[in-house]
Amino acid sequence: MAKQYQFPERPIRRKRKKKEKKFGNSNRKKLLLIFLIILFFICVLIGRLLYINLSNSDTYARIVMAQMDYDSKSIPFKRGDIRDRNGTVLATSEKVYNLVLDPYVVLNSNGDCEEPTAEAIEDYFGIDESKVYEVLDDSPDSRYVVLAKKLDYDTVKAYQDFMNSEDEKDQEESAYIKGIWFEEEYLRQYPYDSLAASLIGFTIGGNQGTWGLEGYYNDMLNGTNGREYGYLSEDSDFERTTVAAVNGYNLVSTIDLNIQRIVEKYVTQLAQERGSKHTGVIVADPNNGEILAMADYPTFNPNSPRDLTAYYTEEEIKDFSDTEETEILYDVWRNFCVSDTFEAGSTIKPLTIGAALDESKVSVSDSFNCDGGEDLFDGVGMQHIQCHNVYGHGTTTLQEAIMWSCNDALMQIGSRIGSEDMVKYHRLYGFGQVTGIDLPGEASAENLVFDESTMGSFELATSAFGQGFNLTMVQMVAAFSSILNGGHYYQPHVVREITTENGQVVKSFEKVLVRNTLSEETCDWLKEAMHQTVADDGPNTTGTAARVDGYTIGGKTGTAEKVPRGSGKYVVSFIGFAPVENPRVVVYVVIDELEDNQEDSGAPTKMAGDILREILPYLQVFPENGEAAAGNGGDAGNYQWGAVQETNADDTPEDSEDTEGGQAGEGSSSTSDLESFVSQWVDEDGDGYDDITGEYYWDDLAEYMEQNGINTE
């Protein structure tokens, strides 16, 4: 066994203690000397500060305050304009001035400055001298007191011209006027008051856009504030540096001011003569999704958006609680065309038939037997769904199903389509989805449409003629426009361009094709069927009130009973277009709870016809030789506001077999030749000049009256 090696033990070493160093007297003397030197300089500094404070405190205080004022002076940006498609300003920001008084400067300047300053303020700004003296007495050390707000440029300029005058007498007087300066800010203004109010929106808190384009494009319209800085140079001169404000971008909208004015004229007329809970009108170009006009009732003035005196008395307004007032304002501000949903009624029928044609479930030669209604199981029991003609239309062709607005025929067509395909086409038409229009608050009605699991035979039947599911006006316009342009669904939009203040284009919004809906062949057939809905003189035709002499007009009426059924509350509507051969414009009118006769679908039909009569010539779409186009027959605007008629649950009057739907009953009269002649012009202020063309027409009118033996008095 090998012997293990043993390491020798190491000896233990002890550490020596280090000798502690002592702080000697010499070090103490050095430390004391340093302390005394520092103390000496501190005393010198304190002495210097005391001397400055006692001898030159006012001078340095003014310099410091001037620097502080300059460091805090912000240069406001100008919020961008909102213009119509032709460049007319619909919303703009105008520079205004706040009058600021510096009492400290007035009271501590050389000479007696109180009286001259107070007199100048009274002379140029209309503020009583006593108020100025009161401010000087109450706040002698203040550097900032606002005496007046939102002064216009002319008022401020008159004062500045006096202060900068080269006249010796003026200079002597102005030398003792001290402590007056101005803050700049911008005031948002709407030159046309309530015109397109819900579409444009308004601002609060200076530059915070609310509702409409003001809210949707708030960040683009806003700019960045600038600033003025002050500092002392090496030579103790006060220097100034300015960082300029960056103004906001301008919006060029698709809205046409003249079309908007025409639309709002008729919306106001309906409100004054008949009344409604809500009324909405959209005018659009079906070929690119551009909205040409959008108006609703009730409305407001964005220059004073909280003013409710147009609808309530002062006493009523005072009695409102905060919650009640907020709810009322919300209802007034909300854009009915975008934010409200409703059952569309029979305006859906062309879309339903279009789906059936494209799915080959019906053909244009098919006919249907209308016996007044259908019996269907609603999940609880059998329900009888009536046609508006409870006696039945009898044998009804596919085209007549649209012309006569036959619910029975549409229920049979819906049954052929089936739930799966009906839901598919509802999605193609954009129902239950937002359109993506560039306006805030768009409702989708996602929870108010059917899917494959919720659409039974009963729901299939009612949805075929436009009840049982909800949509918005802008959804309907987008879907219906796809019929008019050959089957292309374009995203609706309200802005064409975003530009700089110099007019350079930052962003341009072209038409956006979202999807295709129907075949071109189907669209052409539907347009002709809707043309006959307006043009045909048969007793069951529903759209004759929309006729316009010299033009081919197409369209479809709609009446939907609101939930709960049997409440007597209805939404009536009409969607029309022109010319039929090459549609340039679509007009959709919706009236929610028409006060004097809620089922009167002739009211929106008449309004759409009146709007088309005025805007078609403006759009350079002229009548054929000044005479009614083939098939359009009858007088333009034959429905009179005062001739209220009773209608059935859909589109036609009671006793529809004897009376044309949508036309006035007994006692109504056609528009006279003179009225037709005058209706060529838009002259709201009665000065004899056409508001759109600017042409003087009274001489032509006088000549016409003389030639036709009409008393010119």
pLDDT band at 275 (very low <50, low <70, confident <90, very high): very high
The answer to whether residue 387 scores a pLDDT higher than 60 is: yes
- If you average pLDDT over every residue of the chain, what do you get? 84
Task: Write the pLDDT tens digit of every residue in 114-136.
Answer: 888 999 999 999 999 999 989 88
Query: Minimum mean pLDDT among 137-151, 213-227, 368-382: which range?
Result: 368-382
Task: Write the pLDDT tens digit of every residue in 577-610.
Answer: 999 999 999 999 999 999 988 889 999 999 999 9
Task: Supply the pLDDT for residue 585.
Answer: 98
Look up the CATH architecture of domain 74-253. Answer: Alpha-Beta Complex (3.90)
Average pLDDT over residues 94-98: 91
Average pLDDT over residues 311-335: 94
Task: Supply the pLDDT for residue 212.
Answer: 97
Q: What residue spans define the domains of the chain?
A: 74-253, 300-334, 339-667, 672-713
Average pLDDT over residues 14-19: 56
Q: Using alpha carbons, select from 632, 634, 658, 633 the residue that is nearest to residue 646.
A: 658
pTM for the whole structure: 0.77
What is the token pair recorded at 221? 């319209």
Query: Minimum mean pLDDT among 9-13, 260-264, 612-616: which range?
Result: 9-13
Task: Supply the pLDDT for residue 352.
Answer: 98
Average pLDDT over residues 269-281: 96
Q: Do 193 and 183 touch, CB atoms closer than 8 A? A: no
Type of residue numbered 580: V
Beta-carbon contacts of 350 under 8 Å, excluding residues fewer than 6 positions away, are 402, 480, 483, 526, 529, 530, 556
Task: Supply the pLDDT for residue 70.
Answer: 43
**500-509, long-range: CB within 8 Å, 24+ apart, which pairs?**
500/249, 500/250, 501/78, 501/80, 501/247, 501/249, 501/250, 506/249, 509/438
The answer to whether residue 335 scores a pLDDT higher than 50 is: yes
User: What is the distance between the alpha carbons of residues 351 and 236, in angstroms, rounded to a whole number?
Assistant: 80
Q: Using alpha carbons, select from 483, 648, 429 the residue that is nearest to residue 559.
A: 648
The answer to whether residue 650 scores a pLDDT higher than 50 is: no
Task: Supply the pLDDT for residue 237.
Answer: 58
Instruction: Find out whether the peptide bond into 8 is cis, omega within 30 degrees of 0.
Output: no
Q: How far is CA 293 from CA 83, 259, 574, in A?
A: 13, 6, 16
Average pLDDT over residues 155-183: 88
Q: Please indicate whether residue 671 or residue 313 has the higher confidence score (pLDDT).
A: 313
Radius of gyration of the CA atoms of the chain, in A: 38
Whether domain 339-667 has CATH 3.40.710.10: yes
Q: Please indicate whether residue 648 or residue 256 has the higher confidence score (pLDDT).
A: 256
